[in-house]
Structure 1
Amino acid sequence: MTSINPSLYRPCVGTMMINAQSEVFVGKRIDNTEGDWWQMPQGGVDDGEDLDEAMFRELGEETGVARGLLEIVHRLPEELFYDLPPELHGKLWGGKYVGQRQTWYLTRFTGTDSDIDLEAHKHPEFCEWKWVAPGLLPELIVPFKREVYERVVAGFAEFL
């Protein structure tokens, strides 16, 4: 068994945000010029930042959803890792990392669609968004993150 050196992976939080119908929010990245890929909100954890706080911050930045409209349902107990494909090595995060190590949350969104504002942050990450069935997530994400999405869906299945 190969051991993973966590210091080579960017610390990150990801959120499966579900609505009252247990559909999942996905966004299409603004910088996604190749393919029709959609992803759940995710982002880096600042040095010393609490994971819950990082999740709420990232989710707010990417979706505009206010913290008061979210309930944490569950958090996966283990970090999930993915590697960047070779063509992206050295191009992201100042070349410091080979991939990400992600802590995943399941949150329930208690607001309405009008509470979602992709332009709430001065640097929007998504240009479009939609609600999808959880089982569709692995086929919507870029292939190098597919295994992580399969594990996220499986890990939260009992809560959906």
Structure 2
Amino acid sequence: MVDSDGFRPNVGIILANAAGQVFWARRIGQNAWQFPQGGIKAQETPEEALFRELEEEVGLAPADVEVMGCTRGWLRYRLPRRLIRSRSRPVCIGQKQVWFLLRLVGEEEQVQLDRSERPEFDHWRWVDFWHPVQEVVFFKRRVYTRALQELGPLLFPDGLPRQPPVGRPRRSAPPRGCRRA
């Protein structure tokens, strides 16, 4: 399902533990880490999609979490041109997401990344609150920052942890014998 502007409706999940750390998962077969997220199906509310994705990707049931809040509106990111499937119809140019902040109230042993037929992740860990902004793929950084800034006060009512500066990835010189395009 893609809207008239080319964005796919989606939910993003920030799962926190009692220490204020967030759940960070590695995509299967890649060195790519991200928050759980997934599309909203036709006739499904964002909250219904949240709980479906939480069970499919993380293996947690609604009773394992407390919903602390969600973003006031859609947060959008555009895909880089190389990732846009121009031949598909309708063309999806990015995602629009409602982000949810959840607190784990069950046991972390309940996390099972292989609950669905096609798991998304093969490893997970708890990381500091701002760590995902440093490590996520570049085109999602702004959305991650906005979601954490908006929802963070629910987790840290006395003030957010200090956000480290986000550096630009350094471009290394090509190996000897390689030509730049």
Residue in 2 that maps onto 1:14:
12
Residues 52-131 of structure 1: pairs in structure 2 closer than 5 A: 52-90=47-85, 96-131=91-126
Q: 1:48 to 1:154 in 2, by over 3 A?
A: same
Larger RCO, structures 1/2 (Cα 8 Å, 6+ apart): 1
* Structure 1 position 50 matched with structure 2 position 45: yes
Indicate if the aligned counterparts of 2:64 and 2:107 stay in contact, CA closer than 8 A. no
Q: State the TM-score, normalizing by the size of structure 2.
A: 0.79
Residue in 2 that maps onto 1:155:
150
Greater shift after overlay, 140-149 or 94-103? Answer: 94-103
Indicate if the aligned counterparts of 1:6 and 1:101 stay in contact, CA closer than 8 A. no
1:27 is displaced (CA, Å) by 0.5
Indicate if the aligned counterparts of 1:83 and 1:144 stay in contact, CA closer than 8 A. yes
Corresponding letter in the other structure for 1:157: G
Structure 2 CA distance for aligned equivalents of residues 83 and 25 of structure 1:
24
Indicate if the aligned counterparts of 2:6 and 2:90 stay in contact, CA closer than 8 A. no
Indicate if the aligned counterparts of 2:113 and 2:119 stay in contact, CA closer than 8 A. yes
Q: 1:106 to 1:6 in 2, by over 3 A?
A: farther
Structure 2 CA distance for aligned equivalents of residues 94 and 7 of structure 1:
13
Q: Secondary structure at 1:134's aligned position in 2?
A: coil
Q: Which runs of 5+ in 1 are unaligned?
A: none
Q: State the TM-score, normalizing by the size of structure 1.
A: 0.89
Corresponding letter in the other structure for 2:11: V
Residue in 1 that maps onto 2:161:
none
Q: Which runs of 5+ in 2 are unaligned?
A: 156-181
Q: Find 1:26's aligned residue among 18, 24, 27.
A: 24
Q: Find 2:36's aligned residue among 25, 36, 41.
A: 41
1:93 is displaced (CA, Å) by 7.7
Structure 1 CA distance for aligned equivalents of residues 148 and 22 of structure 2:
10
Q: Secondary structure at 2:34's aligned position in 1?
A: coil
Q: Secondary structure at 1:117's aligned position in 2?
A: coil
Indicate if the aligned counterparts of 2:59 and 2:114 stay in contact, CA closer than 8 A. yes
